[in-house]
Amino acid sequence: MTGSNIFVEGEESLANLWLFIILNTAVLTLLINILSLHYGHNDVAPNLFYIPVVIAAYWYSNRGPIFAVLISCAYMALVYFFLGSDVAMLISSSVICYVLIGVSVVVSSLATHMRKNEVKYRGLFNHSEAGISLVNSSDLTIIEVNKRFARLLAHSPEEFPHISFADLWLDSAAKDTFFHQLNLIGNVDNLETRFRSGNNEVRWVLISAGKLPDNQFVCTIVDITDRKKAEEAMLIKDHAISSSINAIAILDLDFNIQYVNRSLLRMMEARMELEFLGKNTREFFGSEEVFHEISEMLPKKGSWFGEVALLKISRTPFYALIWINLVKDENGKPICIMASFIDITERKQMEIVKREALEQIEHNIEQFAILGDHIRNPLAVIMGLSSLSPGEITDKIILQAREIDRIITQLDMGWIESEKVRDFIKRYYMVGAGEMDPNKEEQKKKYPLP
């Protein structure tokens, strides 16, 4: 018992039935009036014409007044035929006919207005995006449903008269709340609950209801399953972000902070999120130039990745590896900025210590080479002076001097090997005056820490 087709078919079958009734009552009334006029007792019989006239005006509102005119004309013809010389009877019969026509016009107007409202109701009922059902309050049988209600709960419309409204609920607490509120104040607004569908799926619905006459109530449901799934997915993502080991912040397009997770609070040595909300990330960059570089590159490339120096809440500097991305909607329009941070202060400090140690090694290698040359110069003088006074002692001095020269030569060979080590260090660790100097200014810009 649902849908516009069933409604139209029901209306047509009733109209055909009432047409039969109208024709039969009209003929019967005319026969009664003929007999009444024949015997001269016509006080009550004309009132019987109201029956077919009112029925015709109700069921055939467009033709009801025409039917009333035809009945009136037939009646006046009978009166004139039987009582043509009785002027008083003709006048009273005319009044009756006018009243019949007037009643027919009024009933037809009311019926037309009622049918227009019925069409509106049926249109809203059948074509609403919300599922609508009519339920009997006493036994909770479902009297009527629209197509959306049937489709949402995966049942055919014919099945619902055999399904109890109470059996649709999955949450007993929500069901008790619904009926308590309906009985107490007569309506329920936007109650979220779960319904069981015909294919054993769980459907989240937003249900509203209101009492009607004749021990009934109307119930509307809106499917919010997709919304609940989206909320659940959002809750999972929010929990994943908030509990992530990586420090994460969400910014608006002007780099104002909208959200920070717990890891970022710990990294920045902050106690609560309110210490960040609404502040611009510019305040936490150790270098204004790096911030400008990021703000200029992000709209062009959509992301930025690199190492920067940041400031904690206490204004203590530290190093961080930062990855910033533009978040866009399905149309490609930027809606916010998401940034993740990794504290690399210890790693950077180790790199600095290692770099300083390698630079010291290079310095020592160079000093060692210079020292070898300085030793050879006085050794050559000693050998030259010893050769001026030959003798046994001189030969021993020269022998020891040559031994010293041999040792220095071995040290020179080791220095050559050290040159290779230095080249390796300079190539892979960027250590050495010739390769580090061009980058030192850039390093100071990105990492302006003491």
Q: Which of 203-217, 244-258, 411-425 bottoms out in mean pLDDT, i.e. has the lowest?
A: 411-425
59-88, pLDDT tens digit by residue? Answer: 888 888 888 899 889 888 888 888 777 777
Indicate the pLDDT class of residue 407, thresholds 50, 70 and 90.
confident
At 16, which amino acid appears? Answer: N
Residue 7 has pLDDT above 80, yes or no: no
Residue 422 has pLDDT above 50, yes or no: yes
Q: With contact defined as beta carbons under 8 Å apart, do 249 and 337 qualify?
A: no
In 82-237 the beta strands, taken as DSSP E runs, fall at: 131-136, 142-145, 187-196, 202-212, 216-223
92-131, pLDDT tens digit by residue? Answer: 888 888 888 899 899 989 888 887 877 777 766 777 778 8
Buried b (16+ CB within 10 A) or exposed e, 189-215: eebebebeeeeeeebbbbbbbeeeeee
Q: Which secondary structure element, helix H or strand E, spans residue 335, and what is its range? A: strand 334-343
Share of the chain above pLDDT 70, in %: 81
**Beta partners for residue 194, in sequence order:** 204
Q: What is the mean pLDDT of residues 21-29?
A: 87
Which residue from 124, 123, 166 is spatially nearest to 142, judged by alpha carbons? 166
Q: What is the mean pLDDT of residues 370-375?
A: 69
| Residues 6+ positions from 153 with CB-CB distance below 8 Å | 131, 168, 195, 197, 198, 203
Q: What is the mean pLDDT of residues 424-433?
A: 54
What are the backbone angles phi and psi of residue 271, rounded to the nearest 5°? -100, -30
Q: With contact defined as beta carbons under 8 Å apart, do 239 and 258 qualify?
A: no
Query: What is the structure's pLDDT at 450?
Result: 40
Query: What is the structure's pLDDT at 430?
Result: 53
Whole-number average pLDDT of the chain: 80
Query: What is the structure's pLDDT at 434?
Result: 40
Q: Angle at Cα 291 formed by Cα 288 and Cα 294, nearest 5°?
A: 155
Question: Which structure tokens are listed for 155?
Answer: 């049942």
Q: Which of 6-15, 284-293, 313-322 bottoms out in mean pLDDT, i.e. has the lowest?
A: 6-15
Residue 21 has pLDDT above 80, yes or no: yes
137 exposure class (CB count in 10 Å sphere: 0-12, 13-18, 19+) = middle
93 exposure class (CB count in 10 Å sphere: 0-12, 13-18, 19+) = buried
The DSSP secondary-structure symbol of 234 reads H
Which residue from 143, 345, 336, 175 is spatially nearest to 255, judged by alpha carbons? 336
How far apart are alpha carbons 356 and 326 in whole angstroms?
38
Indicate the pLDDT class of residue 188, thresholds 50, 70 and 90.
very high
How far apart are alpha carbons 24 and 36 in whole angstroms?
18
Query: What is the structure's pLDDT at 115?
Result: 78
Write down the domain spans for the chain: 3-126, 128-226, 243-343, 348-446
Query: What is the structure's pLDDT at 446?
Result: 47
Question: Which structure tokens are listed for 166?
Answer: 């109470």
151-167, pLDDT tens digit by residue? Answer: 888 888 888 888 899 99
Between 410 and 300, where is the model more confident?
300
User: What does CATH list as the number for 128-226?
Assistant: 3.30.450.20
How far apart are alpha carbons 298 and 115 in whole angstroms?
64
Alpha carbon separation from 278 to 282, 336, 390 (Å, rounded): 12, 14, 92
CATH topology match: 128-226 vs 243-343: yes
Share of the chain above pLDDT 90, in %: 13
- What is the architecture, at CATH level 2, of domain 243-343? 2-Layer Sandwich (3.30)
Query: What is the structure's pLDDT at 265?
Result: 87
Indicate the pLDDT class of residue 443, thresholds 50, 70 and 90.
very low
Residue 445 has pLDDT above 90, yes or no: no
Residue 412 has pLDDT above 70, yes or no: no
Percent of the chain that is helix, strand, coil (3-state, to 5): 60, 20, 20
Alpha carbon separation from 228 to 148, 199, 220, 231, 279 (Å, rounded): 19, 19, 18, 5, 33
Q: What is the mean pLDDT of residues 230-245?
A: 77
Q: What is the mean pLDDT of residues 5-30?
A: 71
Q: Which secondary structure element, helix H or strand E, spans residue 159, and what is its range? A: none
How far apart are alpha carbons 53 and 48 in whole angstroms?
9
Which residue from 21, 79, 77 is spatially nearest to 45, judged by alpha carbons? 79
Indicate the pLDDT class of residue 8, thresholds 50, 70 and 90.
very low
Query: What is the structure's pLDDT at 204?
Result: 92
At 98, which amino acid appears? Answer: Y
Indicate the pLDDT class of residue 421, thresholds 50, 70 and 90.
low
Between 398 and 147, where is the model more confident?
147
Q: In 10 A of CB 364, how many CB atoms?
A: 11
